[in-house]
Structure formats: C-alpha cells, structure tokens
A and B are shown apart, each in its own frame.
Chain A
Amino acid sequence: MSSQLIKNNFRMDRLPHIWCPGCGHGIIMRSMAQAIQNLGLDKQKVCIVSGIGCSSRAPGYMDFNTLHTTHGRALAFATGVKLANPELKVIVVTGDGDCSAIGGNHLIHTARRNIDITTIVFNNNIYGMTGGQYSPTTPTNDFGTTAPFGNIDKAFDICKLVDGAGATYVARGTAYHVNQLTKIIEKAISNIGFSLVDAISICPTYYGRKNKKGTAVQMMNYLKDSAVDTKVAEKLPPEKLENKFFIGEFKNTTEPEYTEEYMKIIKKYQKER
C-alpha cells in the first residue's frame, strides 16, 4: 500500500529505499516525482540520469527511462542521450560531490552549452556514500572524515557557479520547503536550456554526526530557520542575513539551446549537399 503518487512514479518492488532514517534525499526524490506528475509529462519521454553516490541511487527507484552511470559523468551521459533523442526531457540527479568535485568540469561546460538538461543537485554538503569525506560544498571550518581538524577550503555556491558558466535557469530549494521545491523543479524542467536546482538535503548519518548537528528533525529545523527567500532577502538589513542562505529563483532567462543549434547546422549542410 502506498500513495497514488508513489504507485504511479516509483518501482514499487525497489521500495523502501536504502537511504538512512531521516535522509533528505527521499524527500527531494518525492518532490521530483510530484513535479514531473504536475507537469503531466509522458513518462516515455522522460529520462533520468545519475552518477554515483547516495543521491545518484534515485533513478533506480523511479519508474521512468533511467540511466545510472559513473561517478561525476552523469552530465556527459545525459548530453549524449539528449543529442541522440532531443524529444526526451532529460533530468540529472547528482550529489554535491558527484557534480561539483569529480564532475565539476562537466558541470561548467554543460552549463556553458545551455543544453536542455535539468540538473537536480541533492546537496548534503558531504560525500555520504563513501563515509563523510568533505566535498566542495562543505562549509569552511566544518568537519569530515578527511577534515578531522576542520575544513580550510571555501565552499562553492553551485548556483553562482552555473550562473556564471551560462545556465539559463538557476534556483535553490530545500528538503524542508517542499512545496516551493516542487514548483522550482517544475519551472526548471520547463525551461528550454540548462537548468540547475540546488536542492539542499540533510545527511544526518555523516554530515550531521561529524558536525554535531543533532537529529534529522534538528537538521530540518536548521533548514527552516536558515533559509531566506531571495525576494525577502532584498528587503532585509545585513544583520538579519548573518548565517543565512538564500532559496528561490536566481536566474530565469532564454538563450539559444544547444541541441536546437546543433540541428540547425545539420539541416543547413544537408540542404547544401
């Protein structure tokens, strides 16, 4: 027994999933399914692609065309899928490590091309699957198994990174603010071009434990209390924004899309021959 949304969009024989109790990834995966259902997309025309990580297990549970690839390379595979069959809505599920560490180069160049792929980053600020190594989104001074005395790196803001690189839709949501996250994912999928949603997740098992963040509920409360909507933030004095992070839509523009440009070249030279 399960809700209609779950029955309609998941491989029931694969559930329950293996994520830890209170892992935010399950909340974000459900939100993705809700967004796809709200858009009324033909399931045969949706392809969900992932790399490697706890987050990247999501397509294994989702009842669509799915592709579970190699660590950091989801966007490269997704680019191939999209160019081979531009009719498909291609959605990439990735972790902060998968997309911004080992896959960082693919990320910036996929954004630069503005190819019609939607990337959902399940961002838990750590490498969950391999046991809590720090990632490019682990905040400075936080702990990980590879930063036992505190992380001295500065964290990436993945939204700013892909904005600068050329993505045309960029937004951030959280596992706490689920309805807003679903709306954002809908808009990201609807954008014709490269879209990225930085979906802030929680990893109570590794990030939480290493950094004494408490239970899953306490980590959800942190998301609730620390996320400020960009529209609200504009009106707040700087002291109200200390230790906060921003959610909402950062960019929504239209630029030439890569597969369309590619098809134009093919058509042009086919005519000339």
Chain B
Amino acid sequence: MDNRKADKKLKIVEEWCKGCNICVAFCPTNVLELRNNKVAIADIDKCTKCGLCELRCPDYAIYLEGSEDEK
C-alpha cells in the first residue's frame, strides 16, 4: 500500500455508520457532516488525510485507503 497522504482516499461505509457524530465533531478541518443520520462528505478539499476520523469511529465506517484499493 502506498503510504503517501496525497494518494489516500477518504472512504465511507454507509451501512455501518450509526450516526454518532464523533468523526464530524473531531475532524480538525470540518470536512464531514451528518445527512439523515449518516456521515457524509461536506468538503473533501479541506481533508488533510490526517486519519483522526478513522481512529475514533466506533463502527469502522470511515477510513483512509491507498489508491490501489479503489477497485
């Protein structure tokens, strides 16, 4: 897997999201929001790929993945 931040993609597993709002509240750059009680990307351009959302999501519903895992 490529570890360069720029190559990472922010991914969401909507079925697993329970809408707890933790990732939204602790994202340092306000990338995320809740829509109908599910996480959604409000502004991907602000994402620094810091990975804090992934670290604190209790349901593994948001994560950064290397680009080759896209397929």
Contacts and interface: CB of A to CB of B under 8 A. Distances in A.
B58 A1 contact: no
Contacts of B13: 1-2
Contact of B26 (A20, A24, A220): A220
A16 B16 CA distance: 6
A26 B17 CA distance: 12
A6 B69 CA distance: 14
Nearest to B60: A6
Contacts of A17: 59
A16 B63 CA distance: 15
B58 A215 contact: no
B24 to A, nearest CB: 8
Contacts, number: 74
Contacts of B15: 16
B21 A2 contact: no
Interface residues of A, number: 29
Given A4-B1, A15-B60, A178-B55, A217 B65 contact: no
A26 B56 CA distance: 9
A6 to B, nearest CB: 5
A19 B55 CA distance: 17
A4, A26, A175, A176: residue with the most chain B Cβ atoms closer than 10 Å: A26
A20 B26 CA distance: 19
B65 A179 contact: no
Interface in B3-55: 11, 13, 15-16, 18-22, 25-26, 54-55
Nearest to B12: A1
B63 A2 contact: yes
Nearest to B20: A22
Interface of B is mostly: mixed
How big is the B interface, by class? 20 to 34
A1 B70 CA distance: 10
Given A2-B60, A16-B59, A216 B69 contact: no
A33 B34 CA distance: 27
Contact of A176 (B1, B18, B56, B60): B56
A220 B22 contact: yes
Contact of A26 (B19, B26, B60): B60
A217 B60 contact: no
Given A3-B54, A25-B58, A217 B22 contact: yes
7 contacts: A3-B65, A16-B18, A26-B57, A26-B60, A178-B56, A179-B55, A221-B25
